[in-house]
């Protein structure tokens, strides 16, 4: 016998079709009126359609505990030690004075003792790893470009010698990226670069100001072009707030004019967060999670008009990679922080290159189990949220994901994108893995 999944969501697409989305598996199906009647009267469901619904997770066996399935996926991710992801702060110095920045601006750099501690730590880890991923971070990491190149070469050599796959990513404000710098980054194997553009020229220059007091938009926009011209993938980050919410279309137009397209780039819209250290004027521009969600869906609809993909609705094993022991944020002084959004120290590297002096917060973050929170355990959105952001909860803000406020609209947007991708091709009756769904439903 079977029962309906607790994570099914029905969304009316139009007068004829209904979309059925399963949050736990990420499966999305379009139902015509006949299949809608079948779903309302399960005794009428054909064997083939029943098997399909079971396969995609819309139905589960009577003896299946979906919470246990979610817990097992989470546990497997927590226990995986094959890979290590490390965000390394090369410097706390920055050439920008962004109005919402939470970081301290001081000249600390990853040098001397701290540099050697990081090298010893990662060298020891590489011996036991299949994959090492590094995110170069700051401050502004390109202020320390030579250190970045030197350390990346050292790690690449160590990884190659021990059969470990090394990859690295750069988070930068983009201001220092020239065509030459972009080529240098590509030459050392950086595959992805994240650059923030907070709207069009007017909005961006209001929010992301150079240390000299001048605007930064034109140089950062040019940097985006240099990145894709050098063959690296670009991730354009937009920190959304009340000041720039009406200024996104102009940015998208400028990106398109500079060759930034879905073929070489991703556009990621996130909420500007008040970390508690910004002025009242900027604080008043902050959107809470629900307010952000209502604006986000409108912007996503605009973004899809430029061909960019919507956020994935796939289930996740954990909310944040920093929830894992195998993900660390190492500061330029060799201390280990909670995450890239927090300066809270939770451990440090000693002279031997080992983790030491773990705080209680380390255990709170790394041993966190989302099903311990009873509200999360019973929440429909658990498989796509997995307990929310522990850092936001710690600073007294809502930890839940914005998707919870607009999921039906996101499902409609995702279904619309699939239609565009198919370009009129008829795949009715066939699932992604080739399983027959019958002639009255379509797996998207």
Token pair of 329 as six digits: 């944020």
Please write the tens of the pLDDT for every residue from 250-278: 999 999 999 999 999 999 999 999 998 88
**Among the listed residues 328, 355, 284, the one whose alpha carbon sits nearest the alpha carbon of residue 117:** 355
Q: Rounded distance, CA 79 to CA 31, Å? A: 39
Q: Rounded distance, CA 243 to CA 302, Å? A: 18
Q: Rounded distance, CA 26 to CA 375, Å? A: 22
The pLDDT score that the predictor gives to residue 441 is 61
**Among the listed residues 346, 300, 312, the one whose alpha carbon sits nearest the alpha carbon of residue 327:** 346
- Tokens 């505990």 correspond to 65
- Tell whether the model's pLDDT for residue 244 goes beyond 90: yes
Once rounded to an integer, what is the mean pLDDT over residues 302-325? 95
User: Which of 98-102, 228-232, 331-335 is predicted most confidently?
Assistant: 228-232
**Residue 139, preceding bond cis, omega within 30 degrees?**
yes
- For residues 22 and 384, the answer to whether their CB atoms sit within 8 Å is no
pLDDT category at 435 given cuts 50, 70, 90 is very low
Q: Rounded distance, CA 73 to CA 96, Å? A: 41
pLDDT category at 422 given cuts 50, 70, 90 is low
Q: Rounded distance, CA 97 to CA 175, Å? A: 12
The pLDDT score that the predictor gives to residue 423 is 59
- Tokens 């803000």 correspond to 397
The CA distances from residue 257 to 172, 195, 251, 298, in Å, are: 22, 17, 10, 22
Please write the tens of the pLDDT for every residue from 42-61: 888 899 999 999 999 999 99
Sign of the Cα pseudo-torsion (331, 334, 339, 345, in order): negative
pLDDT category at 439 given cuts 50, 70, 90 is very low
Which CATH architecture describes the domain 73-401? Alpha-Beta Barrel (3.20)
- Tell whether the model's pLDDT for residue 419 goes beyond 90: no
Q: Per-domain residue ranges for the chain?
A: 2-64+407-443, 73-401
Please write the tens of the pLDDT for every residue from 320-360: 999 999 999 999 999 999 999 998 999 999 999 999 999 99
Enter the pTM of the model: 0.93
- For residues 386 and 24, the answer to whether their CB atoms sit within 8 Å is no
Once rounded to an integer, what is the mean pLDDT over residues 133-138? 98
Once rounded to an integer, what is the mean pLDDT over residues 225-245? 99
Token pair of 80 as six digits: 């995986």
User: How confident is the prediction for the chain on average, in pLDDT?
Assistant: 93
- Tokens 């900027």 correspond to 282
């Amino acid at each position: 016998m079977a029962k309906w999944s607790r994570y099914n969501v029905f969304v009316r697409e139009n007068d004829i079709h209904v979309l059925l989305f399963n949050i736990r598996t990420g499966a999305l199906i379009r139902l015509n009126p006949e299949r809608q009647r079948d779903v309302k009267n399960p005794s009428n469901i054909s064997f083939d359609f029943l098997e399909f619904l079971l396969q995609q997770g819309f139905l589960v066996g009577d003896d299946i505990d979906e919470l246990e399935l979610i817990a097992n996926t989470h546990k497997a991710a927590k226990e995986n030690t094959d890979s290590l992801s490390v965000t390394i702060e090369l410097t706390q110095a920055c050439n920008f004075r962004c109005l919402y920045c939470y970081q301290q601006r001081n000249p600390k750099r990853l040098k001397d003792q701290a540099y050697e501690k990081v090298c010893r730590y990662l060298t020891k880890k590489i011996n036991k790893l299949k994959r090492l991923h590094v995110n170069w971070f700051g401050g502004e990491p390109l202020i320390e470009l030579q250190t970045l190149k030197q350390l990346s070469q050292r790690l690449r050599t160590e990884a190659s010698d021990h059969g470990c796959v090394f990859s690295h990513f750069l988070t930068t404000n983009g201001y220092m990226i020239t065509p030459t710098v972009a080529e240098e980054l590509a030459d050392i194997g950086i595959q992805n670069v994240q650059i923030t553009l907070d709207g069009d020229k007017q909005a961006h220059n209001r929010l992301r100001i150079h240390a000299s007091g001048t605007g930064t938009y034109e140089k950062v926009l040019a940097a985006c072009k240099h990145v894709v011209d050098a063959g690296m993938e670009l991730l354009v980050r937009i920190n959304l707030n009340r000041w720039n919410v009406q200024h996104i279309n102009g940015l998208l137009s400028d990106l398109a004019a500079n060759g930034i397209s879905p073929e070489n780039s991703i556009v990621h819209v996130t909420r500007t967060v008040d970390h508690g250290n910004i002025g009242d004027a900027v604080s008043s521009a902050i959107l809470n999670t629900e307010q952000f969600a209502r604006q986000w869906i409108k912007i996503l609809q605009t973004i899809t008009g430029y061909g960019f993909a919507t956020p994935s609705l796939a289930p996740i094993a954990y909310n944040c990679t920093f929830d894992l022991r195998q993900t660390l944020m190492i500061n330029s002084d060799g201390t280990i922080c909670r995450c890239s959004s927090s300066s809270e120290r939770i451990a440090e590297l000693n002279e031997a290159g080992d983790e030491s002096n773990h705080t209680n917060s380390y255990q709170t973050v790394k041993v966190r189990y989302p099903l311990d929170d009873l509200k999360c355990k019973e929440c429909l959105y658990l498989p796509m949220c997995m307990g929310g952001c522990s850092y936001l909860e710690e600073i007294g803000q809502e930890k839940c994901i914005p998707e919870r406020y607009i999921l039906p609209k996101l499902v409609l947007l995702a279904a619309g994108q699939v239609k565009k991708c198919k370009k009129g091709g008829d795949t009715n009756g066939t699932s992604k893995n080739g399983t027959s769904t019958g002639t009255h439903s379509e797996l998207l």
